[in-house]
A and B are shown apart, each in its own frame.
Chain A
């Protein structure tokens, strides 16, 4: 290394270059995290004098709060039940469109449409579809004799979370499809032709050739799916508002409820800290176990 390109000992220049990014990082990431961690040790409405309570918020959270337990359960259900179907359906649609459907751009647009609709609209429309008192599904159910369609999907505490998950899958499958279409377009044609010459069946081509070669797309969708799981708010807020009786509660929705409706900013901060720890653990897991070769990073 020449003397001219090496940083001189004691020079401030390198630090000045990273200073703006550091200041922004501290102001918008580090400070809020520390602030939330501190807030979680207080009984505080967010406005008035706070009372230090130590770990009381965490103790209450893990021992006396069934709504929090439901929110955690729902997050555990939400991740696999949305990510996996979205991936499989998205891949199936993308593969069909890529291998023989004329005017595929039109179909791509149609399948992608739900992803660009506001969750507020999606929530209102699906609440109507699910309503057993004159909703679309129940009307079809009564007319066709398919009685399972007349179930009160959103008001049954055992079914509601799955009904909400189904809406989420409906909304985001088109997004998965779009990433798979991009992935499929980038596959080397010689490999696919080689598989064909070797006499691979359609199933073998998909399972042993195409699917493994789309690993970076799968990882990207898993990463985005996990992020989406931890951030799920508007759809649930509009569709069920976490109800009935917290059966569809999500952590972000519960944080909002505690912080602003119940004036418990300290308690909401404790939930936020738990959410942050979960997010951190999942991120580390993905980077260490699955690897960080995401499509968006390539």
Chain B
């Protein structure tokens, strides 16, 4: 017997069997392409399955990148006129950069939810879609899928064991330091190597000192060198000098290092947003994250002694646009609508990835009462109150602020010098 022929025959038979058993591809199916950095692959896969089941005849081809790779991919696609049908976007500068490639989506919104579609979203979600529009452009170039707040969290057992309450003021935080530092616990654990984390803390500080002022400075009706900005920067510096933020914070990234330390019980409080809830839904989470039992959110403590605002900062976490050159605009609109408010959205929200943009979508299963209480606090109390954006419009100003925060924390610049560099960056991008 010629064994090689027999082997070839068996291989052909196996190949034929595989081909016959493969899922039949319907030639009539329309494939909608989607590229983004968020949500993660596993979640997007669940969303795609749910949406495809609901919308027969539509197949979703998705690819998820990490954020820097996504920006490069998007850039390359735009340059080669090969944009996907659905494009993951952030409000502000990113959307503005790709505006010429995006289809205005108000018609899609009206078709999906009626003329009063805006009322069905949380107010911040609708407000921030047009953050990057040029003056006078009233179009909506994307629709929001996920929203978020930025806030503080505390580790319940850590505070309980130390006999402490969640801090409400700067003095409260200061009093926590001697009780915790000896145990190797940070009063406030910050992954300050990441610019966005530094900026998130500063945005909460300036919101505490002078709510709304930073957006005026962005528009040119205030200056970044004004006293409240310097005051907020001074508090930022004090957080380091007083030992409230742990030593070496400027060399520690949020992910995975700061997150691991936090989940290892080394943080009394830490700045993270609503997205921290998803720690509970990962496979085999650390003990503190199981059913989110170890954590509770809180607003940033009052740093001025004059009281703190009761509205957190927030914004759109993810919004999705449709390419102007898409050949499947109707199908893309249907998929997008399903991810905002349909079966796909339900799959997304079930992961606690972040907060919904569309009102009335809640996770189908809660693992604990605490998890439900946290979700309710975010969606029913905090999210409707959000007035101010987490994001700044100009990438150059954002970067200058992040640099200044690092320079001030490390002692290379004074708070006033730091804010002067931000103002200079604002001036430079204006010219």
Contacts and interface: CB of A to CB of B under 8 A. Distances in A.
Interface of A: 45-48, 64, 67, 124, 127-128, 130-135, 138, 152-157, 160, 240-241, 243-247, 256-257, 260-264
B75 A154 contact: no
Interface string B167-205: 000000000000000001010010011110000000000
B261 A134 contact: yes
Contacts of B412: 157, 245
Contacts of B406: 243-245
B193 A152 contact: no
A245 B403 contact: yes
Nearest to B75: A46
Nearest to A159: B251
B150 interface: no
A155 B184 contact: no
Nearest to B260: A128
Given A47-B78, A152-B247, A244-B251, A133 B261 contact: yes
A133 B93 contact: no
Nearest to A48: B100
A243 B250 contact: yes
A124 B399 CA distance: 23
A124 B256 contact: yes
B93 A240 contact: no
Contacts of B79: 46-47
18 contacts: A45-B97, A47-B75, A47-B98, A130-B251, A133-B252, A138-B248, A152-B247, A152-B250, A153-B248, A153-B251, A155-B249, A155-B250, A157-B410, A160-B251, A245-B403, A260-B68, A261-B395, A261-B399
B290 interface: no
Contacts of A127: 193, 251-253, 257
Q: Give the interface SS of chain A, mostly helix, strand, loop or mixed.
A: loop
B288 to A, nearest CB: 16
B98 A152 contact: no
Nearest to B68: A260
A187 to B, nearest CB: 44
A277 B192 CA distance: 35
Contact of B193 (A67, A244, A257): A244
A134 B251 contact: no
Given A133-B184, A245-B406, A263-B93, 14 more contacts: A47-B97, A47-B101, A133-B186, A138-B248, A152-B247, A152-B250, A152-B251, A153-B248, A155-B251, A157-B410, A244-B251, A245-B410, A261-B71, A264-B396
B393 interface: no
Interface in B324-360: none
Contacts of B428: 64
Nearest to B261: A134
Contacts of B133: none
Interface in B240-291: 246-253, 256-257, 261, 266
Contact of B396 (A138, A157, A245, A262): A262
A217 B379 CA distance: 65
